[in-house]
Amino acid sequence: MILEIVTPDEKIYSGEVKLVQVPGADGSFEVLKNHAPIISTLGKGKVKVVEEDDKEIFFEIDKGVIEVNKNKIILLAEKVL
Partner 1 sequence: MANLKEIRSRMSSVKTTRQVTSAMKMVSAAKLRRAQEAIIRIRPYADKLHEILGNLSESLESQEDNPYSIDRGSKNILLITINSNRGLCGGFNANVNKQVLLLLENDFAQQVNSDNLDILAIGKNTYDFFRRHGYQITEKNKLYSNLDFEHVGPVVEHIMKDFANAKYDKVVLVYNEFKNAATQILQVEQLLPIVEKETETKKTSVDYLFEPSKTEIVQDLIPRSLKIQFYKALLDSHAAEHGARMTAMHQATDNATELLSSLKLQYNKARQASITNEILEIVSGAEALKG
User: What is the chain's Cα-based Rg?
Assistant: 11
Residue 54 per-residue DSSP state: S
Q: Is residue 81 close enough to count as binding partner 1 by CB under 8 A? A: no
Q: How many other C-beta atoms lie within 10 A of the C-beta of residue 59?
A: 19
26 three-state secondary structure: coil
Among 2, 38, 56, 57, binds partner 1 (CB under 8 A): 38
Count residues contacting partner 1 (CB under 8 A)?
Answer: 25
- Residues near partner 1, by CB under 8 A: 4, 6-11, 24-26, 29, 36-41, 63, 65, 67, 69, 74, 76, 78-79
